A and B are shown apart, each in its own frame.
Chain A
Amino acid sequence: MAKSLKNSCRKFVHGLVFLTAFAYAATPSASDDFTERRITAGAKIFRALLAADVDIAHKTDSDGKLMLGLVYIDDTGNAQVAAATLMHRDDPRIREMQIRIQTLPLAECTAEVNGPLAGVFVTQRLNAEQLQILTAFANARHLVVFSPFQGDVERGVQSGIAVEARVRPYLNINALRAARVRLKTFFFKVAKVYEG
């Protein structure tokens, strides 16, 4: 009787330890949650931004689709979140144009290995050198580059999000000029503009 009680207790403790470990491993960290939220909110703004691109109709691929590049460095986790947000909508089209999502490492993105891109969404924080490579590519191709990461707009990325009482587009006016990306004037009325 006592032996069976002892075994039961042991099993209960083991179970408890296992459950705790599992729960801990399964729970994403606060930092991951925060990034995911910014990516989800950023994806919607990214779509609005592409819709506001005056020249978006000229940026389709050979199939007439808008190819959106989701850039990562070594982790595709955020890229998948962004892809899901962009794709899983009632109508994923932008300005009634079909979209194609490409999850790409930076090198492949800038080489446009799968065809011409209509816009680039940064899914992993880039260092200065990587950012410079991406900016040079975007400038050459007049592409919209969007980063949901805080501080990237100030570092030279064309667009991002400003989170205050509400989420707004955040535009680097000089970076947009450098890339010769033309946005609807209307869009600037609701966006926060960085002119530094």
Chain B
Amino acid sequence: MKVKPKVTFGSHRTTIYVSLVFLVLAASLQALVWAYWQNVLEPRLRHEAASQAKVLAHSQEIRLVDAILDTSPQRLQGLHETIDEILLFTDAASKEPLFLGLGLEIDYDVVSAERGSLDLQYGMKHCQDCFLSEVGLYSPISDELIGIARFHVSDRLFRSLSRDVHKTLFIQSRLGTLLLLVVWVIVIFLIRKINSSRRQAEIANQAKSAFLANMSHELRTPLNAIIGFSELMGYDTDLSEKHRENLAIIHRSGAYLLDLINDVLELSKIEAARQTLTETAFDLYEALDKVTEMIRLRAEKKNLVLEFERTNDLPRFVRTDERKLRQILLNLLGNAVKFTQEGGIALRVRSEKDDFDGTADGDTDSGFDALRLYFEVEDSGPGIAAVDRTRIFEAFTQTEGGHLKGEGTGLGLTISRQFARHLGGDIKVGGALGQGAVFEFTLLAKPASASEVTSHRPARRVIGLKPDQSTARRQPIRILVVDDHSENRALLQQLLKRVGFAAKPAENGREALALFKQWQPHLIWMDMRMPVMDGYEATKMIRRAAAKMLVPPPVILALTASAFKEDRDAVIAAGCDDFVRRPFRESEIFNKIEAHLGVDYIYEYDESPSTETTPSGNVSVDGLRSAITLLPHSVIQEFKTAIELSDMDRMAQAVAEIGEVHAALARGLKELVDTFQYDRILSYLDDVENSPVGNPGATQ
């Protein structure tokens, strides 16, 4: 599958935002420069120019005063000449006159002259752009004010100065804007570069996810067929012991391969931070017993002693992720068995209160109380060298012993440590080389009550539907199996038909839609990834078709090989009622059908250890009772008579006859016979005979 990069608007948005910021900055810079010029620089320049004009004008005071106070008859002519000379002064730079106009106003109370005779006006009287400077003319002898001279000073200097400063300022501001532009280009370039790298990383991540999803699907699909068919064939009573053993090897190998795939996927989920915590309340004692029982078999094969100790105060019911705890324990104990050649293995479990609110008095009522569970797995194996103690928790890393064994992926301890940390604890390893290894791990759990613990329904084998489990018209329950893999279709069809359902196959979504319209199944097992039309599309189309046809909508159960929760969420979002992860167990299929259609099954026997087990530990009371109901009445009567007469030969004969019909039941009954539990057999047979339903097998 080719991974297409997602076109995100995020990067474009960032570019636009950054560009806007720079645009605002550039506009602000221009506005600031303009405001600075208008409000600060230009007024200051004008003020400076006005001051200059005043100084210039003031410098002419003495000459004018001298001319005015001249008492000779040529005073007026002298005054004219002085003013003419003043108006001749030019600016050295611009070669333009400095003074554009000059007017005199004389105080004739002080100056002895005919009134108005000296009030002269030269040049411009009114000048819009000039600087007007009024200069008081004081007598140098008496310091009296003798008159006022009004100078119109050219603003030429101001204009040229203003133009130069304005040009400099705006060149600098343009440079600032240019610099801003350069920075903007660099920032945009960097953003694009970062976005490109991020997109590459996203593509790589998507490719990885796609690879995992593909691997998950492509590996689980054939594994489903291997495990499923080997399981199904195991029920065939005609198989020879040799074939049964071979089949068991196939089944075990498939299961082992599935474990390896699960390990790799689990690590991928950890690396992608996609692992989820599923906390449930469960019976810790029972969980520990199950684990130790599983390991005990393997230990006994190697003549190893498995010791299990738990402290008296260890709570029986706790709430944590049971699956993860079981996986850690199985991994550590499995490793211990694998590497220990003689001696034994010990599992020790204890608990302590763990007060989250940090109070030292241990008053758990005051805060959220929790338990810290301590597990210790000790073995008498070769031990782990000090240098390996950190390395063993790294992915795909094994000790020298592990390499020599050539088993495992080197992921078990990595996953176990991540799980322990995810559960609020950690794993550490102790011991010494040549003296065995000690793995200790802790995790947090909450106390639970017995009522919270949902009883684990034993995985019993369904062997048929109870009578009157058909539809109103006495038709069998119709189930459509949609899967593009023929072997998977065949497996599921066989399972369903064996029990008594009517099952039809469809190769893809389009075929399923056509069959739905024609056959209207009660339930559809829908593979989600198929060619032509996938399960998502088919589910939607079938839902639409049901509404259009005004028929009850079918229950659609998804079969998904995906290991990721998001994919399962997508399945539900597409309109499926539920899902089962592939490879599935037979019991999961039947349990889901039961949950959604409310059917009742007839079971053969329990596969899990129970409180009421036969001496061999693999047949439960319920299982035996259910299986006996299938026996013909004559067989039950014959078996009863044989037991009542304590006739061993007739009992053996009856068991052999039963074996022809139900091998597993026969094995269970034989164990009871061999251990002389006749009373128990009789009670089962009586129960079946006296039950109101009776034994349906008698009527078949």
Contact = CB atoms under 8 A, between A and B. Distances in A.
Interface of A: 44-45, 47-48, 51-52, 89-91, 93-95, 164-166, 168-169, 184, 186-187, 189-191
A169 B51 CA distance: 17
Contacts of A189: 105, 134, 136, 148
B138 A44 contact: yes
Nearest to A189: B148
Contact of B54 (A95, A165, A184): A165
A100 to B, nearest CB: 17
B145 A51 contact: yes
Contact of A51 (B51, B134, B135, B144): B144
Given A168-B136, A184-B109, A189-B134, A90 B141 contact: yes
Interface in B113-144: 134-136, 138, 141-144
A52 B146 CA distance: 10
Contacts of B142: 47, 51, 91, 93-95
B98 to A, nearest CB: 15
A48 B144 contact: yes
Secondary structure of the A contact surface, majority rule: mixed
A87 to B, nearest CB: 13
Nearest to A187: B145
B141 A190 contact: no
B565 to A, nearest CB: 81
Interface residues of B, number: 19
25 contacts: A44-B138, A47-B144, A51-B110, A51-B142, A89-B141, A91-B141, A91-B142, A93-B142, A94-B142, A95-B142, A165-B54, A165-B58, A166-B55, A166-B58, A184-B107, A184-B109, A186-B105, A186-B145, A186-B148, A189-B134, A189-B136, A189-B148, A190-B134, A190-B148, A191-B136
B55 A48 contact: no
A48 B109 contact: no
Given A186-B107, A190-B136, A165 B145 contact: no
A47 B144 CA distance: 7
A190 B133 CA distance: 10
Nearest to A51: B144
Contacts of B135: 166, 190
Contact of B143 (A51, A165, A184, A187): A51
Given A184-B109, A190-B134, A164 B54 contact: yes
A182 to B, nearest CB: 14
B313 to A, nearest CB: 90
A164 B51 contact: yes
Among B110, B135, B145, B148, the one with the most A-chain Cβ atoms within 10 Å of its Cβ is B145
A128 to B, nearest CB: 31
Contacts of B138: 44, 48
A52 B55 CA distance: 24
A190 B58 CA distance: 12
A45 B141 CA distance: 13
Among B51, B105, B142, the one with the most A-chain Cβ atoms within 10 Å of its Cβ is B142
B148 A47 contact: no
A51 B109 CA distance: 11
B51 A165 contact: yes
A-B pairs with lowest CB-CB distance, top 5:
A190-B136, A165-B54, A47-B143, A51-B144, A165-B51
A45 B139 CA distance: 11
A64 to B, nearest CB: 17
A169 B141 CA distance: 18
Interface string B145-169: 1001000000000000000000000
Contacts of A186: 105, 107, 145, 148
Nearest to B149: A190
Interface in B43-64: 51-52, 54-55, 58
Contacts of A190: 134-136, 145, 148
Interface in B3-45: none
Nearest to A86: B143
A27 to B, nearest CB: 29
B522 to A, nearest CB: 101
A44 B143 contact: yes
Nearest to A43: B143
Contacts of B54: 164-166
Interface in B90-116: 105, 107, 109-110
A57 B630 CA distance: 150
Contacts of B134: 189-190
Contacts of A184: 107, 109, 145
A16 to B, nearest CB: 43
Nearest to A93: B142
Interface in B581-613: none
Contacts of A166: 54-55, 58, 135
Contacts of A93: 142
Nearest to A185: B107
Interface in B483-501: none
A134 B58 CA distance: 34
Nearest to A92: B142
Contacts of B110: 51
A57 to B, nearest CB: 12
Contact of A95 (B52, B144, B148): B144
Contacts of B55: 165-166
A51 to B, nearest CB: 4
Contacts of B51: 164-165
Contacts of A52: 144-145
Contacts of B141: 89-91
A52 B110 CA distance: 10
B578 to A, nearest CB: 90
Interface string B642-685: 00000000000000000000000000000000000000000000
A165 B134 CA distance: 12
A183 to B, nearest CB: 10
A52 B138 CA distance: 11
Nearest to A47: B143
A168 B51 CA distance: 13
Nearest to B58: A166
Contacts of B143: 44-45, 47-48, 51, 89
Nearest to B50: A165
B134 to A, nearest CB: 6
Nearest to B145: A48
A191 B148 CA distance: 11
Contacts of B148: 186, 189-190
Contacts of A45: 143
B383 to A, nearest CB: 90
Nearest to A96: B142
Contacts of A47: 142-144
Given A44-B138, A164-B51, 5 more contacts: A47-B143, A51-B110, A166-B135, A189-B105, A189-B136
A91 B135 CA distance: 23
Contacts of A44: 138, 143
Interface string B161-200: 0000000000000000000000000000000000000000
A47 to B, nearest CB: 4
A188 to B, nearest CB: 10
A169 B55 CA distance: 16
